[in-house]
Structure 1
Amino acid sequence: MRLDKLIEEQLHTPRKAMKRLFQTGQILVDGKIEGKRERNVDSNLHEIIVQGKQLKTNEVYFLLHKPQGVVTANQDKQHQTVIDCLAPHDRHPDLYAVGRLDRDTQGLVLLTSNGQLGYALMHPEKKVMKRYEVTVNGPLTAADQAAFEQGIVFHDGTTCQPAGLTIQQSSSEQSQAMVMLMEGKFHQIKKMFLVRGVKVIALKRTAIGPLTLTDDLPIGTYRRLYQEELESLVDYFH
């Protein structure tokens, strides 16, 4: 969470006093004077000392294996949401999904109360790689791989950034592949394959940056991030 918000919540520090704390070097993160009020911190990753007092955060991080038919939203009048997949006691009011998945798409979703982290993971400048398993209703060839590497151009003229396409199995009726990309345009993968003359019939996200869908997460289940997974995200906390 934001460092200044943490200090305000736990020490009830007025705004002027907060400014003085930063100006006089009384705020330490991992033993170093921190001057950025908006610095994103988590006490499971950082030692946070303010005027000699150690502060603790209480952010929440869940990995969900989203099933098909579930919408990536907090509320929906017609469909089950990713929040509905959680046990009632885990439905933290500040939770939100990092990176949208279409209702008919299965796969990895990060649910967190740490809005700054979510923003960093989705910001184009961070170039966070996302991996998908795809099934299409026709053949895939080396020409398709080359087109993905060059950057697919949609029918409306929109140009995608270069993406990786690894063909795992190809036949005239159905093919399986892995797609790696750093963008998140609306229905992007489906549109990319339509440009190449095939239709996506199954789509599953298996990774977001260092976070990977693991065997211990069956469809429809979730778990808290392991400590090593949280540590793998430390570069997105600055």
Structure 2
Amino acid sequence: MRLDKLIEEQLQTSRKEMKRLFLRKKVSVDGKITLNDSQNVDSELHQIEVDGQRLLTNEVYYLLAKPKGVVTAKRDREHQTVFDLLKSEAKVDQLVPVGRLDRDTEGLLLMTSNGQLVYDLLHPTKKVVKVYQAVINEHVTQEDVEAFAEGIVFLDGPKCQPAQLTILAYDEKTNESFVELAISEGKFHQVKKMFLACGKKVIALKRVAMGPLRLENLEMGSYRKLTAEELQQLKAYFR
């Protein structure tokens, strides 16, 4: 949560009064005076004090395993949404997904009420790595690996940043390849378009990691709160 918003909400200050607290050097984070009123803070990660008073936040962070067929939206007239998968007590105000997964893509989706963290995780300068596992309808070759490392050019023109493509297996009977791909961008339908540019088609796609977070064995359709260790790993993305 932004530090200025936290102070205004918890101490019931006006905008002017909040600004004055910073000018008087009455605001500290982790024992150090700060003048950065837009700093993103969480009392699970930071010690926040204003004029000697400890402030607490109540942000939530969920790791959700999105199944195929579910849309990344609050509501949809035709399809089940990721919010439909949550229990009523989990649907707190300001809860949003960090980015989106296509309806036919499954896997890791971070959901949080910390809007500043959402912005920073999605900002291009942060280069947060997303890892996908995919099934491809043809034989993926070393030439494809090298092309991804150079930066794929979409059929309609835009060029992607270099990406790490790893061939996991190839099934000669079905002529299908199983691969893992790490990218640091979030272009629309990026993974599918990257393979299309190589003349191949993604027939199944699953996100297994985002930054320090890993999906591991979380069952599709279920979710859980981040562990203290996982939240600590996200601290690097707080600013």
- Normalising by the smaller structure, the TM-score range is over 0.9
> What is the SS of the residue equivalent to 2:40?
coil
2:235 aligns with 234
User: 167, 181, 184: which one pairs with 1:182?
Assistant: 184
CA deviation vs aligned residue, 1:162-218 (integer Å, no higher than 9, x gap) = 000000112451000000000111111011111111110100000110011022x11
> What is the SS of the residue equivalent to 1:234?
helix
TM-score, normalization by structure 2: 0.97
1:13 aligns with 13
CA deviation vs aligned residue, 1:81-122 (integer Å, no higher than 9, x gap) = 111110111111211100210000000000000010011111
> What is the SS of the residue equivalent to 2:229?
helix
2:209 aligns with 207
Q: Distance in 2 between matches of 1:49 and 1:93?
A: 24
Contact 1:45 1:231 in 2 (8 A): yes
> What is the SS of the residue equivalent to 1:69?
coil
2:27 aligns with 27
2:74 aligns with 74
> What is the SS of the residue equivalent to 1:206?
strand
**Cα deviation, residue 22, structure 1:** 0.3
2:197 aligns with 195
> What is the SS of the residue equivalent to 1:167?
strand
Q: Distance in 1 between matches of 2:15 and 2:221?
A: 44
User: Aligned AA for 2:190?
Assistant: Q
Return structure 1 stretches of 4+ with deviation > 3 angstroms.
none
**Cα deviation, residue 24, structure 1:** 1.1
Q: Which residues in structure 2 correspond to 1:160-171 (within 5 Å)?
A: 160-171=160-171
Q: Distance in 2 between matches of 1:160 and 1:16?
A: 45
CA deviation vs aligned residue, 1:6-43 (integer Å, no higher than 9, x gap) = 11111101222211110111000000011111110000
Query: How many residues are paired up?
Result: 237
Q: Distance in 2 between matches of 1:70 and 1:158?
A: 28
Contact 1:138 1:171 in 2 (8 A): no
> What is the SS of the residue equivalent to 2:83?
coil
Q: Distance in 2 between matches of 1:102 and 1:26?
A: 46
- Percent of counterpart pairs with the same letter? 57
Q: Distance in 2 between matches of 1:183 and 1:9?
A: 35
Gaps of 5+ in 2: none
1:223 aligns with 224
> What is the SS of the residue equivalent to 1:235?
helix
